[in-house]
Amino acid sequence: MDVAERQRYEVLLARRKQELSSRVDDRLHRHGLEHHEDAGLPRRSEDTDDDATASSMRDADVATLARAARELALIDAACERLANGSYGVCVECEDPIMSQRLQANPEAARCASCQEIFERGRPDKARAPV
């Protein structure tokens, strides 16, 4: 990977991390709290008088934040691979990951073939390192 390509991926990963961090920040602060130490999810009981609906809304908030935390971890891992020179190389087969895949999914850790095998082997089909 040449220097220009590496810099392009650094920018792409930094942009994705910033966008995701902004969404998390918005989710935690949209209900009027301004300081991180005061941040938290809204109770949702103020949004509806139905306890089941409020609980479902809160569960959705928690799921969204958990997904964002996983995505941030994947981005951090990709940044680490970029720093140590292993970025763009499949963690399974050690073949190069196609640039089209990295452009679409810059945190990808596996080539498309190995990712497909990995996902087929996961019973819960949860999004794992890509």
CB 61 within 8 A of CB 42: yes
Residue with tokens 């945190």: 107
Give the pLDDT confidence of 62-88 residue by residue, as tens digits. 788 888 889 999 999 999 999 999 999
Higher pLDDT, 90 or 47: 90
Give the C-alpha separation, 84 to 108, whole Å: 15
3-state secondary structure of 103: helix
Tell me which of 3.40.50.300, 3.40.50.2300, 1.20.120.910, 1.10.8.100 is the CATH number of domain 3-120.
1.20.120.910
With a pLDDT cut of 90, the percent of the chain lying above it is 52
Domain boundaries of the chain, sorted by first residue: 3-120
Q: Is the pTM of this model over 0.85?
A: no
pLDDT band at 44 (very low <50, low <70, confident <90, very high): low
- The mean pLDDT of 17-40, rounded to a whole number, is 67
For 1-130, list the strands marked E by DSSP.
Answer: none
pLDDT at 64: 81
CA–CA dist 101, 113 (Å, integer): 11
> How high is the pLDDT of residue 24?
80
**Proportion of the chain above pLDDT 70, given as a percent:** 75
Instruction: Out of 25-29, 35-39, 76-80, give the one with best mean pLDDT.
Output: 76-80
Q: How far apart are CA 5 and CA 47, in angstroms?
A: 47
Q: Is the pLDDT of residue 109 over 90?
A: yes
- Give the tokens for residue 66: 């958990």
Minimal CA–CA distance to 113: which of 104, 101, 124, 123? Answer: 101
The pLDDT, as a whole number, for residue 79 is 95
Structure-token pair, residue 18: 């910033």
pLDDT value at position 38? Answer: 43
CA dist 42 and 17 (Å) reads 24
